[in-house]
Amino acid sequence: MNHSQPFVRTQMLEAKEPPLAEKGVVKWMRENLFSSWLNAFLTIVSILLIYWVLDHLLPWMLGGIWNADSLSQCREIRDSLYPDGRDVACWAVLSDRWHQLLFGFYPPELYWRPILTLVMFGAAISPILFNGVPRKLFILTAIAPFAAFWLLWGGSVWMPVVVALGFVIGWAVMKFASMPLGSLVATILTILLPVAYWLFLAGPLAGALDAAVPVGIEAVQTDDFGGFMLALVIGVSGIVLSLPLGIVLALGRQSDLFIINKCSVAFIEIIRGVPLIVWLFTASLLLNYFLPPGVQFDIMLRVIIMVTLFSSAYIAEVVRGGLAALPRGQYEGADSLGLNYWQSMQLIILPQALKISIPGIVSTFIGLFKDTTLVVFIGLLDPIGLSNSIRASTDWNGIYWELFIFIGLCFWIFCFSMSRYSQWLERKLHTGHR
C-alpha cells in the first residue's frame, strides 16, 4: 500500500469571495425588499407609487417661479415660460412674505433681537443636552430665560432682573430654612414667598429702579409677534416649564399625603379631560373675569400659562408610568441607604424613571409644539394664521400649496430634530430592558 499520499491538508485554501447574493447591496435588497413573494409585490407597488408621486411633484416644485410680485404676475411668467400650460409652483410668495412667516409683524430693524435670542437659547440648553459642553455655560442657562424675555419684548431691563430675584428668594428659603423649619414647611415657603413677592413687590420695585436708573431698549408689543417666532416662543416656553411641573405633579400623585395626592389627581384629570382649544379660549376670554379688578395679563402670557398647565398634566402621567415601572427594590434600596425622600428621588428614583419615560416625554413635547397652531383660533397670528392673512391679500389670493408646504416643512424640521435627539439619548443611556 502506498502511504506517501497525505490524507490531511497541510495548507489552508485561499479565502473566496461570498456569492453575489450574500454580500453588498444585493444581499440587503434580498433580505429587506424581496424576502418573500408578498414583500416583493409590495416593494414593486411602492416603487411605482413613489415614481408616480415624484413624476408629478418634482416638475411642479423644481420648475417653480421665485421672482414675482403677485400671483397674477407669477401666472404670466409661467405662461411665457411654459406655453404647453404646465402647472408649476409659485414660490415667489415665499420670497415676498418670508419675513412675515418667520417674524410676523416684528419691526424689521429689530430682527437681530429674536435671532440673537435663538442663538442664546441654543447655547443655554447645550450643557443640558450634551455632556461634552463646558459646564460653565450653566450660568448662561440660568440667565437665558430672563435675557430672552427682555430681548424679545424690550422695555426696561429692571423687570426681568426683579423677576429673577424672586427665584433667588425661593432658592435662599429652600437652602437656609430646610433645617430649622423642616422640608415640608420650607417647600411651602419656597413656593409662597416668591409668588407673594411677584404679586405685590416686583412691579413697584421695578418701577422704582427704572425711575432711578433708566436702562432699556425699544419695547415691542405682543400684537407684533407672529409666524414661527410666535410658535417657538409658546412651544419652547411650554416645554421648558411643563417638564419640572409635570415631575412635581407625578410625585404629588404618588404622595402619601392626602391633600397633596388628591389635589394632584384633580388637577391632572381636569386638565387632561378638556381639549386644549377649550383652555385656550378660557385663557383668552374668561381668565380676566377671575383676576382682581385692574389686573391685565398679556394674551401671550395667558396662552403660555395654559399650554404649560396642559402639557404638564400629560408629562405627569408619562413620568408616573416611569415611576411605576421601577421595581420596588429600588425604593427599598434607597431607604436602606438612609436617604430621605428628596435625596432618594434625586439620586436613585427619578434618574431611572425619567430614563424610562424619555420616549413619552419627547412625544408629548412634539405634540405640544404642533398644537401651538391652535392659537390661531384666539387671534394670534401663528404661521397658519399668517398664511390666511397672506392669502387674503389681493396679491396672493388663491395660493395654497406653496405656503402650506413651507409651513409643514419647517414644523417637520423641528419635530424630526426632537425625535432624533430622543433616539440618540435613548441609545446613549441604554433605555429599555436588556
Query: Does any domain span residue 12?
Result: no
Q: Which three cell numbers stand for residue 191?
A: 413656593
Instruction: Assess whether pLDDT exceeds 50 at residue 385.
Output: yes
Same domain, 128 and 257: no
**Better-scored residue on pLDDT, 248 or 337:** 248
Residues 267, 183 within the same domain:
no
* Mean pLDDT value across residues 229-242: 92
Contact predicate 144/160, CB 8 Å: no
What local confidence, expressed as pLDDT, does residue 136 receive?
A: 84
What global pTM score does this model have? Answer: 0.84
Alpha-carbon distances of 380 from 105, 220, 404, rounded to whole Å: 11, 15, 18
Q: Which of 217, 236, 252 is the last residue of a domain?
A: 217
**With 80 as the cut, is the pLDDT of residue 296 above it?**
no
The average confidence (pLDDT) of the chain is 85
Please tell me the distance from the alpha carbon of residue 355 to that of residue 352, in angstroms, as a whole number: 5
Establish if 187 belongs to a structural domain: yes
**Residues 58 and 191 occupy one common structural domain:** no
**Do residues 193 and 325 share a domain?**
no
Tell me the average pLDDT across 210-239: 90
- 212 with 196, same domain? yes
- pLDDT exceeds 60 at position 298: yes
Q: What is the DSSP letter of 136?
A: G
More reliable by pLDDT, 86 or 411: 411
At residue 172, the pLDDT reads 85
Q: Evaluate if residue 386 carries a pLDDT over 50.
A: yes
Average pLDDT over residues 306-320: 92
Per-residue pLDDT, 60: 87
- pLDDT average, residue stretch 165-175: 85
338: left (phi over 0), alpha (psi -120 to 50) or beta: left
pLDDT for 180 beyond 80? no
Does residue 13 fall inside a structural domain? no
Q: What is the pLDDT of residue 434?
A: 45
Residue 15: pLDDT band with limits 50, 70, 90: confident
Range of the domain at 366: 92-106+223-434
